[in-house]
Amino acid sequence: MISALNHLVDLVEEHLGEEPDVPALAARLGTTEYHLRRMFSSLAGMPLSEYVRRRRMTVAAADVVRGEDDLLTVAVRYGYGSTEAFGRAFRSVHGSAPRDVRRDGGPLRTQPQLRFRLTVEGSTTMDTRFTDRPAFRLIGHATRVPLIHEGVNPHIQQHIAALPQEAHARLKSLGDTDPAGLLQVTDDVAQDSPEGTRLTYLHGVAISGDTPAPDDLDAIEVPAGTWAVFRSSGPYPDALQTTWAATASEWFPSNPWRLRPGPSIVTVLDRAEDFTTATTELWLPVESA
């Protein structure tokens, strides 16, 4: 995967004036576009689309400053059909219009070319198991929330706090399959998922594929497949988020598995009364790489 990500970075550099053909590269490297984009976003801290935009505008800035071509020629060279569209992209990266930068020589915010490397220093021990599950259904109370990588997500907290106590008890009584217990489910996460991206969050339980779902609850259909299950214990949600990040930075690059489309599921196995510490399981849908 580290090699695949560096191939992706090289592809971006070779085609700064057009959109990189990520599906073709993924097929050539024996992986999937979905997994490649998700791993890039997790390790780079930004989605691929944002990195492409930053690199494109970094290189374009040199042409703007040199002043050898008019701005329309520069815009077209980097894939924009007008100086207006180019100007918006340029300003979003550098904070200044191309004409101002051409006149003043800056200011400019450059994006260095990324290189991915695998290191074992400070590696996180991963308590992992695999399970093959038939198709099942996730049911509960869903909402749309922004993605937050670190710390407690207040939007999720508000959603759960707004549910009456009897709703939690009802959900517990409906769950009849693994993963067991009340679940924290995230779904509809875009391949390129920067902080603030809207996703579906469902507070609910898992039921068997042939169990009817109540009409007044939201439902997510989950196809049959293999799941990697990562257990973590410690301060909540820090230990869980550290484990989640380590799946991308350490586990996937070191193991012959890749993510497949599907929801991510967290189940709380045990917790302190004030929820400052917890033992959790993170369920990720995977397939052989």
Q: pLDDT band at residue 119, thresholds of 50, 70 and 90?
A: low
Domain boundaries, the chain: 1-104, 128-288
**Is the model's pLDDT at 118 over the cut of 70?**
no
Superfamily of domain 1-104: Homeodomain-like (1.10.10.60)
What mean pLDDT, rounded, does the chain reach?
86
pLDDT (0 to 100) of residue 252: 82
**Is the model's pLDDT at 78 over the cut of 70?**
yes
pLDDT tens column, 139-176? 999 999 988 766 678 899 899 999 999 999 999 999 99
Percent of the chain surpassing pLDDT 70: 93
Q: What is the DSSP string of the chain?
A: -HHHHHHHHHHHHHTTTS---HHHHHHHHTS-HHHHHHHHHHHHSS-HHHHHHHHHHHHHHHHHHH-SS-HHHHHHHTT-SSHHHHHHHHHHHHSS-HHHHHHH-------PPP------TTPPP-EEEEEEE--EEEEEEEEEEE--SSS--HHHHHHHHTS-HHHHHHHHHH--SSSPSSEEEEE---SS--TT-EEEEEEEEEEETTSPPPTTSEEEEE-SEEEEEEEEEEETTHHHHHHHHHIIIIIHHHSSEEE-SS-EEEEEEEE-TTSSEEEEEEEEEEEE-
pLDDT (0 to 100) of residue 40: 87
Superfamily of domain 128-288: Regulatory factor, effector binding domain (3.20.80.10)
Region 23-48 average pLDDT: 87
Region 13-30 average pLDDT: 87
pLDDT tens column, 214-269? 999 999 999 999 999 999 999 988 888 888 888 887 788 767 788 899 999 999 99
pLDDT (0 to 100) of residue 149: 66
